[in-house]
Every structure is written in structure tokens, then in C-alpha cells.
Structure 1
């Protein structure tokens, strides 16, 4: 395994920027210089990005709806994109939903199988998150079996049913487009939604029982798009301690006061607002209501969002980068990464100080991405 000592770079250590050399050997960060010395003057070294939630892999797995599924080749391409954007640990968030298509169980099984095949062959640490629709009651047992079969350690609960419209007997917006994605007729898709909505009274107990079983397996659990303090409290009572992308200040504040972890979308920070009209992530960060930023659907976003937080005056550089490294590592229970400390995994990114472009990514002490003039210094 590679042994290198990087010199003359700024290194973002837990206490802030340091000019001391950083050494890597046997896949971990070392105290003493090891191996060949490499001059990285003009560059910054930061902890590798830990992405707690991202579904950008979909465009690699199914680049065109109904035409081609790339499966393993797509996952290899996804790993390369992750590395190019400084992501050294990626939680691939895959739906298990009544919505069908790329959100249905059949596609989910393809994703899980691809990760199992590709993960051992690439430097980036690929992990799985199962996103389960709360009203997809008849598929709970199948989803639970998939969690066990594929060793999935993180389950997040979503509810994408348009309950208000269904309760009023009105057609949901974008019905035809959603039906097309699912492979159903609009009439069949609407009938399915109505049937699921009609079983809403059964959902709380089913979730109580499922969460209890997942907890015995040691699964980490999260809720998606929390809107109220009451909703967050209900999830907390089930042992669901991560609040992903809360939509209101009330929900995020309730998560913080209850000791839960809050994950926000990095694209929201980069854009400056929620695309769905919810509370802006930057507002929640300014209120101290964020523990981690995730790629959501765009892998370049975490690094860009961290620097955007600095530009907005919300956080200093060390605080901002912790939102994409140490923060998500902690929420995932990964204590061996997220910081540049001796004995931890050699997960790091090298960034051009002038342009903030990522030119080198190392994951577990292996080169995952290398580009530009820095390649000449290493080679």
C-alpha cells in the first residue's frame, strides 16, 4: 500500500490549519514521516468527505428511462464521480417505494447487488441506505428481508403520498408523469395511491413494530422531511434519531432539543433556497441546527456548500468542513474517519488553494482520484 509524506501544504487538522507534514502508510495517517516526500506547496489537505445521503448514482445505473440499465458498470462510474468530488465514504440512498420504476423494490435489488459486486473493487467506501415509504405496508417484510440479506445498516422513512389531495378526492399534481415513471397507467397509479392512503390508520403500529425489529439488528434509522415537533417526537419514540432535511425551523429545533442528529441538503446551501419552498438550509445552519451536509442528488455539492457557508459568514473554514466530514462520520457511527489524526483511515482530499478544485482524493490509503499538475509531483 502507498506510503507518502506530504510537505509544505496547509493541513486541516482537528484544531484548525497546520503547516506540519502529513504522512500516510498502511492505509492510515501516521505521526512520523513515512515513505517518499511529496511537495504540495500551494495546496490544502482536508479530511475526505463523508456523504450521509445521496442518490446521484441513479443517473449512472439508469442513464435513460426504459432504455438501458448499466448496473455494475454504472456503479463503477459512480465511484469515480464520488472520488472526483472528494467523497471517500458514500451512503447510497435507495428508495423502497410504491412509486415504482427507479424507486421500486426491483430496481432497489439491482442497486444492492451492484454495490455488493463493485464495493470491494474500488477505493471509495460504498454503503447502502434503504429509504422505505411509510405506507408501503405490504412490502415491509420484503424490505426487512433485503436489509438482512444485503447487510444494510441505515433505514430512512419517507412518506410521498399526497394525503391532502387524496382525502379531498382530487387527483394529485403531476399524476401522469409519475405514472409514466412507475410503468403504470394514470388510473392504476391513482388507485394504488388511494388504497395506500386508505390504510393510514394501520401505519403507526406497523412502524412501531418494524422500528423495534430494526433496532435489535443495530440499524441506524432516520426520518425524511420532518415538518413538526410532534412528528419528530413520534419518530424519536421509535428510536429514529436522525432527522433528514427537516422542512421547518420548528422540526429542526425539536430535533436539536431532543438530542437528534440533523442532516441538511448541500444543494440547498449552494442554491440558497429549497427547491420545494421549504426553509433554507443556510437559515438552519445560521441557527446552529445542522450536524451534517449531504449531497442529496448532486455529488459536487458538499464541497461547494462547505465553502458557501464560509462565504456567507455562517461558519469558519474548519467548522464548515466538519459539516461534510466529521459530522456525517459521527452520525453514521464511523469513528475511524472524518478527521486527519494519526491512526485514522487515510481518507483525504487535496485541493488547489487558489481555485478550490479537488485534484487528489485518497480513500483508505489508496488513490481514488488524481488530476492535473499534482500528478506530476506524485509520479
Structure 2
């Protein structure tokens, strides 16, 4: 089936065609034209981007528990999450499922395997609009981590594994007051004594489990050729540790020092698009725009707000001085390549016709149309 998208500003990997056309054949990009063609769907000058690639979203959690203590049926939650991602221009989703949690009772623990199964079911049955893969987030100090991970990691849809440690007193939560402020919202009854007891308990579990769990997780990922990411790197020592583990991606470094060390050693640096849109980190860490202005940022992730991904890329262009192709690559080409996906992420002949048509309203990008392998999905 032949399709033509006409009268578009086409964002290529290295430049923008101001008024061109795109031909699609059997779900792939067949030709790129510098001038409009006589026929085809008129995009009326909209920007045409590659479909966005999201490598770390836990947005599904909000749909699994839309209110405190209210668990939603799994497959409807997955379908709603998928629709929200596609409406934000995301055509490839790595659902970031937490394998383990330090918080005890947790929607993450309760729904890990059922979510994994429901996403696979949605893909098999054609119920989802985006293409979904998995990012397994391994909480190293969780006692049952390896038992929970074993039935998941061999699945071919697993494209990324991250090693993370949310033990208070280091990395993202090196400031205990920030930790107390964040988790205190979930533990309304915490007194100073119960808080300190919880911190001590988590530090004990870290000492008992984190080291051997990390070695096992790294070996499992490497044996299967799965990309590895570190999480919340805070200093150069954390980057040295990541390098010894064969990590290729540094997710959400908390300081400029860590991001500089990551770049110096060739690691891809991921920052949260909500950090860009909000103008800073919600937990007091380094601002993503600061890293962007110092050429220390490679990839954006929408994390917990799918709509932030395109908005964040636009702000890299509008506020950090990045060219449009470079800003778009941070949410398409770079994340795709970082997890071994070579058939998407840029507009080029032979690539999947995963595409987003957008306009700008004031300084906010608006998604108008989305295609997945040439099929209109929004």
C-alpha cells in the first residue's frame, strides 16, 4: 500500500526539509522529496518527526492504581497507558517495570508479573497502538530480586536492564531530608524514630544483598546481549563502577560531575523530560537544561509524564540552543540506538514509517497525527 504525506516540514537526522513530501510503502519509508508532490495527504506545513522512542516510563503505574488502594483491571490499564503514550507522539515504548521495591507493600510488587503478561497479551492481540518492549528496573537491595527477575529476563521483548539502589543516604537520596519528604507522603504515620528505623533497615538490606545481586543481574543481562543502564549516578566513582559492570547508559545522573564523567567515558546520558519542562529536578538534583547547555545530555525520557517527551525536546531547541534535528534525536534516534533498535528513530529510506505530525501553539508542541509502521494510530 502506497501513502504520501505532503506539504510537511520534514525533520531529518541532520537537517529540516522546509516543504517536502514523504512516500510510504508497506509500512516503510520509500522516498523523501524536497518538494511537494501533486497528490497525497496534506499536512499543511506541520512538522513531521520520527515517532518518539521512550526507554523509561513508569506511567503505567498511575493507571494501575488511579487512587490510593484502588487497583484497576490490568489489561484496561495497559490499553489506557498505551493510548496516552501514542497521543504524546510515542510509537515505541519500553515499559519500565520495577523488579523489587524497598517500600514493602507496593503496587509495583503486586502487579509486576500481571503487567508483564498483560502488555505481551496486548501486543499479541493487536490491542495496542504503540510497539511495547520492556525495561526491567532491578532494585538491588530487594531480597527476592533474583527470583522475581528469573521468569522475565529471557523474554525477547526485554531490551534494557537497569541496576538501581534507592537505599537512603546515597545516590538520588543522599540528602535524607529529601528522602523523608518524598516518602513521608506515603508513610503518613512516620515519626522521627520510625523513619530512622526504616533507614537503618534499608541500609542493612543494602549491605546484605546489593553487591551480589548486582553481579548476578549484570551477568544475566550480558549473557543475553541486553543493554545495561546505571541509575542515579552521583559522582565519578559511580561512573567508574558502571564501566566495570559494562553499563552503556547513565540514567538520571544527579550531578553535573557524574554526567561529565559519563560523557568522558562514552556513556549515553538520560535525563527526565519532566525536569526540562518544570525547569528543574523535583528532588533537588541537577537540572537537565544545565546538562544540555554543557553538551552533557543525549536522551530524554518522559519518566512519569508521557506528554513531557515532545515538550522537553522542543524546549531543548527553544531554550538550550539545540538545532531541531539534534533535539528530536534526543527523543527518537538516540534512545532507539541505545537499546539496539536500528529500524526506527529517524526519517530515512527503508526505516519504519513511525511518524508524528506536530504544530506549535505558543511555545507548546501539539501532536496532530501519529503513524506506527504507516498505520494511522492517532
Band the TM-score falls in, shorter-chain normalisation: 0.7 to 0.9
2:91 paired residue number:
88
1:281-360 to 2 correspondences below 5 Å: 281-352=288-359, 356-360=365-369
Superposed displacement of residue 200, structure 1: 3.5
Write the mapping of 1:15-94 to structure 2, written as runs, cut at 5 A. Answer: 15-18=14-17, 19-31=19-31, 37-94=40-97
Return the offset for 1:98. Answer: 3.0
Distance 1:123 1:36, change over 3 A: farther
Aligned counterparts of 2:112 and 2:366: Cα–Cα separation in 1: 33
Match of 1:372 in 2: none
Deviation at 1:65, TM superposition (A): 2.4
| d(CA) in 1 for partners of 2:42, 2:252 | 41
1:185, distance to aligned residue in structure 2 (A): 12
Change (3 A) 1:32 1:209: closer
- Structure 1 residues 153, 29: CA separation in 2 closer, same or farther (over 3 Å shift)? same
**CA RMSD after TM alignment:** 3.0
Give SS of 1:247's match.
coil
Q: TM-score w.r.t. structure 2 length?
A: 0.87
Alignment partner of 2:218: what SS? Answer: helix
User: What corresponds to 1:108 in structure 2?
Assistant: 112
C-alpha offsets along residues 335-371 of structure 1, whole Å, 9 cap, x if unaligned?
11011111100100011356631110001221110xx
Tell me what 1:136 maps to. 142
Q: Which residue of 2 aligns with 1:5?
A: 4
How many residues are paired up?
363
Do structure 1's residue 197 and structure 2's residue 197 form an aligned pair?
A: no
1:44-92 deviations in whole A, cap 9, x for unaligned?
2111111111111222222122223231011111111111110011111
Which stretch has the larger CA shift, 150-159 or 185-194? 185-194
Corresponding residue number in structure 2 for 1:365: 374
Contact 2:259/2:269, CA 8 A, preserved across alignment: yes
C-alpha distance in structure 2 between counterparts of 1:296 and 1:244, whole Å: 11
| Equivalent residues of 2:163, 2:214 under 8 A apart | no
- After TM superposition, the structure 1 = structure 2 runs for residues 120-269 of structure 1, keeping only pairs within 5 Å, are 120=124, 121=126, 122-148=128-154, 151-163=157-169, 173=180, 177-179=185-187, 194-202=200-208, 203-269=210-276
Unaligned runs of 5+ in 1: 370-379
Shift of 1:149: 5.2
Q: Distance in 2 between matches of 1:352 and 1:32?
A: 20
Contact kept? 1:263, 1:292, Cα under 8 Å = yes
- Offset at residue 102 of structure 1 (A): 4.3
TM-score by length of 1: 0.87
- Confirm or deny: 8 A CA contact 1:95 1:103 kept in the other structure: no
Given that 2:232 and 2:253 are in contact with CA atoms closer than 8 Å, whether structure 1 keeps it comes out as: yes
